[in-house]
Chains A and B, each alone.
Chain A
Amino acid sequence: MFSEHVSKKLSAYCHGEVDSAESRQIAEHLIACNWCRTQYEEIRLGVKLAQRLPQVSAPDSLWFEVQAGLAKANDSSVRPFSFGGWRPQLAGVMAGLVLVIAVGAFWFYLRETRPFWEVARLNGAPRIGSSLMNEKGRLAVGQWLETDSGSRAQIDVGTIGQVEIDPNTRVRLVETKATEHRLELARGKMSARIWAPPRLFFVDTPAGVAADLGCAYTLEVDDEGAGLLHVTSGWVALQLKDRESMVPAGASCATRPGVGPGTPYFDDATEVFRRALARLDFQPGTQETKIPDLDLLLMDARPRDTLTLWNLLGRVEGNDRVRVYERIAGFSPPPEGVTREGVLQLNEQMLQLWKDKLETTWSQQSFGRFGKAWIKIWTGALGRVKSEDGKK
C-alpha cells in the first residue's frame, strides 16, 4: 500500500477530478499513510485559500477602449501588432535570432516614428505606458498617460494648445495629425486651453465626445464613466451619437454613459434649478413623474437660463414643450418670422432665429464684445462637428 503514494493526485482528488474507483483508492490510502495525509492537509489548505480569490470587475471604460481600438484597426486596415504568434521554441536558433532582430527593429521603428505629444511632469510620478516618466516625456499615439493621487502632468497638444492632467487621471493619445488631435479621457480630470481654429481638438469620454470650438474648459470623468464639462471661455460641443449640447463659457454640462450629454446650464443658475435639471436629464421616469421638476426649473429660471430652456425645447414633448416655450417667450418674445406653432413643431430655421436673439443674453456676461464673433465661429462649426458622429 505504501509503495505508491498518492500525493501527486491530491489536488485532483480535492477537485473531484478523479474517477470513483481512484477516489476510493486515494481515500483508503490516506487513512493508512501519515505522509500522504500530511500532504493532503497542506493541499486542502491551499485549495481553501485559493477559493478566497475574488473575481475583479473590469473597468467600465474597457468596452469603450476596445471599440476605439477596433475602430482604429479598421481605419488603418492594419491588425494590432502582437507577439502572440511568436514561438521561438519552435524555430531553429538562427531563425529565432533573425526573427527577434527583425521584430525588434520593426518595433523600435514603429515606436520612434509614431506621432507623439510632449509631456511635462508637474508633480509626483506620472506614468506613460508602464514606465514612470522623467521631467519630460513623449506620449505616442496609442499610449496611456496615467497620474496617481500625487501626480500631475502637462501635455502640449502639438502647437495648438495645452492640456493639464490632474491627479488620478488616465488619458490616451488616440490621434494627432494636421486635421485632428484626439485624446481619450478614461477617468479623472483634465483642463484644456486650445488656441487653434475650431474642430481640431477632440476628447473622447465614455459618455460622449467633447469637440473644441476654440476655448478653454475642464472635463471630468468618474469611475462610472459619467462626465462633467465646464467651459471657461469659448464654446465646446458635447456629443454622443445624435444627442448634442453646445456649451458656452460660464456654463457646464453633465453627461452619462448610454444617455449622452444633458442640457447645458449656466454655473450661476440657482441650486434648485440645477438639481431639477439633473433629475430631468438623467433620472428615469415618465413625463408625468417629471412634472414637479419641470415646475421647479421654470419657476427658478432667469433670462440667462434661456440657454437651458432653449435646449430643453427639443427634449420635452406635448404640454411640457408648450410650458417651456411660454417661459422663454416671457423673457424674450420670438423675433419676427418665428411662430409659436413653428417652434412647437421644432422648425429648425425658426429655432435658430430665436436662438440668435437669445444668445445675446447668454453671451453678455461671458464674452462682451467678442460674443458675436464666437457665435459665428460656433455656427459655422456646428455642421462639421456633427459629421464627427461616426467617431462614437
Chain B
Amino acid sequence: MEQRAVMAEPIVDDRVIKACQAGDREAFRLLFESYKDRVFSIAVYSFGGDEAAASDVSQQIFLKLMTSITQFRGDSAFTTWLYRLVVNACTDEQRKRRRFLNFGKSIPVTVVGERRPQEKRFAKLELADSVQAAIQELKPKLRMPILLRYVDDLSYEEIAGALGCSRGTVASRLNRGHQALARKLGHLRNEVVLGE
C-alpha cells in the first residue's frame, strides 16, 4: 500500500465547482486530483485495507459526484457535501457486504487486515501499520469520525455535517475512538512518546 505522509492542498473554489456544474472536464479533473487521495484513504481504511474494494467505492463516489454535482446548491460547504457522499457510499457498501454474509454466502469477503492473528500482526508491523490495523478494527461509527479528522483534517463542525449528526456526537465518538485506540495500542506508548 503506497502511502503519502503529506496531502496536497485542494485548490477547488467556487469557480471550479461552477465549471464542473457546466460540464467542464478539466475542472472535474482538478476536483478529482484534489480529493482522490482523501477519498481513497477513507475507503481503504473503511474496508480493512482492501484496495480493490476501496478503488470500486472511490470510483462510485466520483461518478456520483460528477453526475449529481449540478444538484449542489452551495447551501453547505462543498466539502460537507462531498464527504456526505463518501460516508454514504462507504456505509452502503458495508451494509451490502454484511447482507451478503447474512445470506450465508459460502465464501467470506476477504479482508486483508484479517489474514493473520492479531498478536502476530501487531508484533511485526511498524507503528503506522499498527495504527492502521487498530483503526480498521474500530466500529464503523467510531472509525469514520477518526478518519475524517485525521486523514482529511476536518473540523468537528464539518464532520458533523458529513455524518449528519451533532457536534456533541462527533466529540463523543472521537472520545470513544481515541480511548479504544489507546487501549488497543497502549503497549506502543513509549514509541509514540519517543517519536514525538
Where the two chains meet, the residues of A that have a C-beta atom closer than 8 Å to any C-beta of B are 7-12, 14-15, 17, 39, 42-43, 45-59, 61-63, 65-66, 69-70, 73, 79-80, 82-84, 86, 127, 130-132, 144, 146, 170
Contacts and interface: CB of A to CB of B under 8 A. Distances in A.
Q: Which of B38, B60, B193 has the most CB of A within 10 A?
A: B60
Interface in B19-65: 29, 32, 36-41, 44-45, 50-53, 55-56, 58-60, 62-64
Interface stretch (B9-17, B75-83, B116-124, B179-187): B179-187
A53 B150 contact: yes
Q: Which of A43, A55, A65, A130 has the most CB of B within 10 A?
A: A55
Interface in B142-196: 146-147, 149-151, 155-156, 171-172, 174-175, 177-183, 185-186, 188-189, 192-193, 196
Contacts of B155: 17
Given A54-B5, A66-B66, A11 B192 contact: no
Given A42-B182, A55-B41, A56-B40, A8 B172 contact: yes
A84 B50 contact: no
List 9 A-B pairs, minimum CB-CB distance, nearest first. A46-B178, A58-B40, A58-B36, A46-B182, A54-B3, A45-B182, A11-B174, A46-B181, A83-B92
B171 to A, nearest CB: 5
Nearest to B132: A53
Interface string B104-146: 0101011000000000000000011001101100000000001
B63 A80 contact: yes
A287 B161 CA distance: 54
B73 interface: no
B64 A65 contact: no
Given A12-B171, A70-B67, A52 B128 contact: yes
Given A53-B151, A63-B29, 18 more contacts: A7-B175, A12-B171, A45-B181, A45-B182, A45-B185, A46-B181, A49-B134, A50-B177, A52-B127, A56-B45, A57-B37, A58-B55, A62-B36, A130-B53, A131-B105, A131-B107, A132-B110, A146-B52
B131 A86 contact: no
Given A17-B156, A17-B171, A11 B178 contact: yes
Contact of A63 (B5, B36, B156): B36
Contact of B32 (A10, A45, A63): A63
B4 A48 contact: no
B9 to A, nearest CB: 12
Given A52-B131, A56-B4, A82-B60, A45 B95 contact: no
A144 B60 contact: no
Contacts of B62: 62, 66
15 contacts: A42-B179, A42-B183, A49-B181, A50-B146, A52-B128, A53-B151, A54-B132, A55-B7, A55-B41, A59-B55, A61-B55, A69-B59, A70-B63, A84-B88, A130-B53
Contacts of A54: 3-5, 128, 132
B178 A9 contact: no
Contacts of A132: 107, 110
A43 B36 contact: no
Contact of B171 (A8, A45, A50): A8
Interface of B: 1-7, 29, 32, 36-41, 44-45, 50-53, 55-56, 58-60, 62-64, 66-67, 85, 88-89, 92, 95-97, 105, 107, 109-110, 127-128, 131-132, 134-135, 146-147, 149-151, 155-156, 171-172, 174-175, 177-183, 185-186, 188-189, 192-193, 196
A11 B175 CA distance: 5
Contact of A9 (B29, B40, B171, B189): B171
Main secondary structure of the interface of B (DSSP, over half): helix
Given A46-B179, A56-B3, A57-B3, A79 B67 contact: yes
A42 B184 CA distance: 11
A65 to B, nearest CB: 5
Nearest to A100: B99
B178 A84 contact: no
A61 B56 CA distance: 11
Contacts of A66: 32, 59, 62-63, 66
Nearest to B36: A58
Given A11-B174, A45-B192, A80-B60, A55 B4 contact: yes
Nearest to A61: B55
Contacts of A63: 29, 32, 36
B127 to A, nearest CB: 6
Contacts of B181: 45-46, 49-50
Contacts of A131: 105, 107, 109
B36 A53 contact: no
A17 B167 CA distance: 10
Given A8-B171, A65-B59, A46 B107 contact: no
A80 B182 contact: no
